[in-house]
Amino acid sequence: MASNVAHGQQVIGHAEEEHTTPQEYVRVAIVLAIITAIEVFIYYLPSARPLLVPALIILSLAKFAAVVGYFMHLKFDNRLFQFMFIAGLVVSLSVFLAFLAMFWYSTSYMPLT
Amino acid sequence: MASIAQPRIEAPVITAPPVEGTGLWSWLTTIDHKRIAKLYGVTSFILFLVGGLEALLIRIQLARPQNDVVTAQRYNELFTMHGTTMIFLVLMPLTVAFFNLLVPLQIGARDVAFPRLNAFSYWTFLLGALMLNIPILFALPSIFAGMAETALLNLFGSTALGGLQATLDKLPFANAVPDQGWYGYAPLTERLFSGHQIDFWAFGLQLLGIASMVGAFNFIVTIINMRAPGMTMMRMPIFCWSTLVTAVLIIMAFPSITIALFFLTFDRYGGTHFFNAFNIADGTLVSSGGDPMLWQHLFWIFGHPEVYIMILPAFGIVSEIIPIFSRKPLFGYAVMVYALAAIAFLGFGVWAHHMFTTGLAATPVAAFAATSMLIAIPTGVKIFNWTGTMWGGSLTFPTAMLFAVGLVSQFVIGGLSGVMHAVVPIDTHQNDSYFVIAHFHYVLFGGTLFALFGAMYFWWPKIYGKLLDERLGKLHFWLTFIGFNLTFFPMHFLGLAGMPRRYHSYSFESGWWFWNAVETIGALIIGAAVLVFLLNILRTAQEKQDVPANPWDAATLEWATPSPPPVYNFRIIPQVTHRDQLWHDKYDRILEAQGRPDAAADAIIEIDQLPQSSPVGVAVAEEQAELGNIHMPNPSFYPLVAAIGLFLLPVGMVLNNPHIPLGSFIGLPVITAIGILVLLTGIFGWSFEPAD
Amino acid sequence: MATAITVETAHGEGQGIHEGHGHAGHPPPSAGVDSRKLLMWLFLTSDTMFFGTLIATYMMYRDRSIQLLTPPYPNDIFDIPYTSVSAFVLLMSSLTMVLALASIQRGNYRGLRIWLAATALLGGIFVGGQVFEFTTFAHEGLTLSSNVFGSSFYVLTGFHGAHVTIGVLWLVALLVVSLRGGLPKEKAMSVEIAGLYWHFVDIVWIIIFTFVYLVPYPNPVKEATEAAPAAFLHLVSLGQQMLAALPF
């Protein structure tokens, strides 16, 4: 960024450098804190038990996306980084879901829940 | 290199371009990618000789039924070290040597993106190789003494050497050679079933993994970010593409083995139960819940992409060599790139085909069989495209081309037996038999090693400024080709006849003796071929040659630099307009002059070879004066310091062993502490040392 | 760890020695991105596989020690309110980190130092909390060797804790450099890269907190041992025979 501009180089994807202001960062953090509070709250809510696991997965993915997208700036950054990181996530998720499926469904050590 | 020292171009205000230092210190601190390539190449070639020696000992043991040249324990050690050495210390680092040599030259850069990280990668590799090989180097004298003892006794009835083997067996570490097979299946590697030989193997692999990953990060950044102006991704030489794809495979596959080895270390030192199903509590066995299958999964999640890590660079090399000696551009460049990417992507979805006989459920078996067969498609595409490149070309067959075509023919055999393994019922029959040995030697020897030999003949002038002898080269090729097929083709028969792998000896009644004898003769022919190659190297080293920049009339940018290239590679970073830039400059421009309308191109031909008085020479001097002097990063010894620090951590762990006197006193507390200090010194010095 | 090493590039950006003028004859980065930032993103991509392996191993062993009736069990060990506070602390350290980056990009060096110090402090609190948590668990009988739950829990969270510790050391190093005047606005990239690493460590904890701590565990059922596969019981008896055959 700044150092690259000093190099006189055309740096793609930095037009949005000032895209996110500190106020917005604080807002994102507040949302993250609220989601965490909801997660812990529903953990203690007996009536939420049947839907607890899907709810936790959705909430944690939302937190994940918010930190990667805003704090790590990936949402506004070079598409190369977006492609790399998302492709890496897809490979590692598919590999390890297949791995877990093989363990859980080919032995009797299935999760008890 | 001396001729490079004097600037040939008399430019107004210009200092001499940077030159390489000389002496040991300059090698220890070098961060020049070409020197690191030489270090990688020489180290892994020496290790190739060690691994080849181990292979010969295996073959001699199997030469006749009921043979007892080496003991069963030594035999286990030999095949373990042969496999581990050839995979991690020969094929991978030899391809890395070519990555180092070629990638910056081919993309028109002066070095890799992070030169010091590159040096760190080499030193970590060297120390990891040392870690892995310490025990076998202490054990080999005892093995040879045993063979000499037996030979004297059988031939002359002499007992002159009696007791020598027993004495040499007492050498430190001589009985700590890894013996569990190259994939180290749990629970054989656990404390309950093994001594400290596993530590050498596990820590050695851990260091090698760090070296590979660091190198891979570096090459990805280099290829993505250091390309010369105009060199779009689809104008890049195909070897750079194969490097990029291989590096991506390395950074995505090695974490799995790193963590698995980390678990293993915890199992061995921390009492965890990742891979052992038992726990000893008060002398009784209780179930701990640990699962040996976890190791198999984690190992092969790494292990199958690892196969492509070894073969894709070979594909890249062959895709560079075949067009040059067919005098045609590579057929279907874009499809070749997509095929590389497809092989890499599918490579992550096939690992369980190594585990078909472990009792997986029907669904995963069917799924992994299907993905494994799918990989044959992009691989087949490559074979057809190489054939298409040669089709209708004006073919010549120097040694490099012979080895390249050798790959195409031999890899087809290995590939076909590979597809056979995807068929589950056949795999169940062939599993753990010599058929599998035949398959992966056709892929890795007939594939990767053939390509690497071809690459040595092809790029030798670029590295050393000398052409290897062609007559000896052809002898080398034909001996290798015949010896290789004699050794490994009969293994198909033996495997189907039921000969299991990793067996120390077999009975006469099994009927396997004939092909085993043939295989041993083949292995000795391969040994002779390697000696011919060594002779070729030595003879060439003594010759005086004046090799032009581009002896093969090749098309990629490395041939635009002098042979060998100066430390800064390119006096001026070239402007790229076409895929086969040098051919375009040379041939298209002639056509253009004859009236063919073609886009105007900036010639970059052999800038350093031009007389300074020529128009281009003057232009170069002027442009360089305008840009300023060539500035290369300084040598640094911090990469070496950091690598030594990293190496000392496991050294302390290995020494921390009840069998070694004072080991537990000096091992963990002292040596590991020193290691941490040295590592921190290296990182600190590195961080605050000016980059250039 | 390679990540903690400040690296140079042939573009001369590494130490910022050459700011202000183009590097002799070197073209701009061909992908238009900073090489060090690219390196960090690649490392993080690879790190998804590192943590993927660790988390998958944990998930695979998640219920096994309950099924095999090898205590201690997760439900007796975990202290959700305590861990929720640490998770919150680490989440907030991501905010302070991003504020540190915003400060240096605007040339606000005082803000940079305050936020860097705050991030390092929050990270330190998290690591300290983890040390306290480990000690408590060990007192309650959960060790590396007590069962597969202990093994995989300590190695996963410990690996993450080591990442946080390296991050704290990195932030402290940046703070010291900044206090000595070595971190001008032009070197914002150094802070941005450290920040990427820091946020990644945070997202890994988001996953760990959910899947290790919050997703509920079953309680042990006495009949559960009968669910163990016959092959496993066979292995145990085989192992017992082998143990009996040992000379010592």
What type of residue sits at position B547? Answer: V
Dist. CA C248–CA C241, nearest whole Å:
13
Q: Do B297 and A80 touch (CB under 8 A)?
A: no
Segment C13-31 shows an average pLDDT of: 50
What type of residue sits at position A22? Answer: P
Dist. CA B443–CA B68, nearest whole Å:
30
Which residues of A are less than 8 Å from C217 in CB distance? 113
Q: Do A29 and C95 touch (CB under 8 A)?
A: yes
- Does any domain span residue B205? no
Compute CA distances B180 → B56, B498, B511, whole Å: 19, 22, 28
pLDDT above 50: residue C19: no
- Does any domain span residue B579? yes
Which residues of C are less than 8 Å from A29 in CB distance? 91-92, 94-95
β-strands B278-281, B284-287 pairing: antiparallel
Residue of A nearest to B348 (CA): A95
For chain C positions 93-152, those within 8 Å of chain A (CB to CB) are: 94-95, 97-99, 102, 105
Q: Do C50 and B258 touch (CB under 8 A)?
A: yes
Residue B189 in 3-state DSSP? coil
pLDDT above 80: residue C13: no
All residues at 6 or more sequence positions from B333 whose CB lies less than 8 Å from its CB, including other chains: B234, B238, B579
Dist. CA B8–CA B631, nearest whole Å:
17
Mutate to test the interface with B, among C145, C225, C233, C243 (most CBs of B within 10 A): C145
Which residues of B are less than 8 Å from C27 in CB distance? 228-229, 573
**Residue A106: what pLDDT?**
56
Residue of B nearest to C44 (CA): B251
Q: List chains adjacent to chain C, taking adjacency as at least 3 C-beta pairs closer than 8 Å.
A: A, B
Which residues of C are less than 8 Å from A43 in CB distance? 80, 214, 216
- Does any domain span residue B574? yes
Q: Do B364 and A94 touch (CB under 8 A)?
A: no
Count of domains observed in chain B: 1
- Does any domain span residue B542? no
Q: Do A2 and C33 touch (CB under 8 A)?
A: no
CB atoms within 10 A of CB C113: 18
**Residue B342: what pLDDT?**
96
Q: Do C98 and A25 touch (CB under 8 A)?
A: yes
Mutate to test the interface with C, among A24, A27, A60 (most CBs of C within 10 A): A60
Dist. CA B446–CA B488, nearest whole Å:
10
Cis status, amide bond into B178, omega within 30 of 0: no
- The helix (H) or strand (E) run that includes residue B35 is helix B33-61
Residue of A nearest to B344 (CA): A91
Of B224, B349, B364, the CB nearest to A106: B364
Q: Which residue has the tokens 């006096």?
A: B571
Question: pLDDT tens-digit profile of B355-410?
Answer: 999 888 888 899 999 999 999 999 999 999 999 999 999 999 999 999 999 999 99
- Does any domain span residue B666? no
**Domain membership of residue B593 as a residue range:** 557-607
**Residue C247: what pLDDT?**
62
Q: Do A105 and B363 touch (CB under 8 A)?
A: yes
Question: pLDDT tens-digit profile of A13-42?
Answer: 444 455 678 999 999 999 999 999 999 999
Q: Do A92 and B252 touch (CB under 8 A)?
A: yes
**Residue C3: what pLDDT?**
35
- Does any domain span residue B566? yes
Question: pLDDT tens-digit profile of C45-81?
Answer: 999 999 999 999 999 998 888 887 788 899 999 999 9
Q: Do C206 and A89 touch (CB under 8 A)?
A: no
Burial of C22 by CB count in 10 Å (0-12 exposed, 13-18 middle, 19+ buried)?
middle
Q: What does the mean pLDDT of chain C come to?
A: 85
Q: What residue ranges of chain B have pLDDT lower than 70? A: 1-17, 279-284, 286, 589-629, 658-668, 691-692
Burial of B3 by CB count in 10 Å (0-12 exposed, 13-18 middle, 19+ buried)?
exposed
Chain A nearest C-alpha distance from B257 (Å)? 14
Q: Do B633 and C8 touch (CB under 8 A)?
A: yes
CATH numbers and ranges of domains, chain C: 34-71+80-219 (1.20.120.80)
Question: Contacts from B343-346 at CB under 8 Å and sequence distance 24+?
Answer: B343/B245, B343/B308, B343/B312, B343/B375, B343/B378, B343/B379, B344/B245, B344/B246, B344/B248, B344/B249, B344/B305, B344/B308, B344/B312, B345/A91, B346/B371, B346/B374, B346/B375, B346/B378
- Does any domain span residue B583? yes
All residues at 6 or more sequence positions from B388 whose CB lies less than 8 Å from its CB, including other chains: B331, B332
**Residue C236: what pLDDT?**
64
Tokens of B127: 């120390």
Count contacts between A and B (CB, < 8 Å): 31
- Does any domain span residue B509? no
Q: Nearest to residue B448, comparing CAs of B151, B188, B96, B54? A: B96
Of C24, C31, C151, the CB nearest to B273: C151
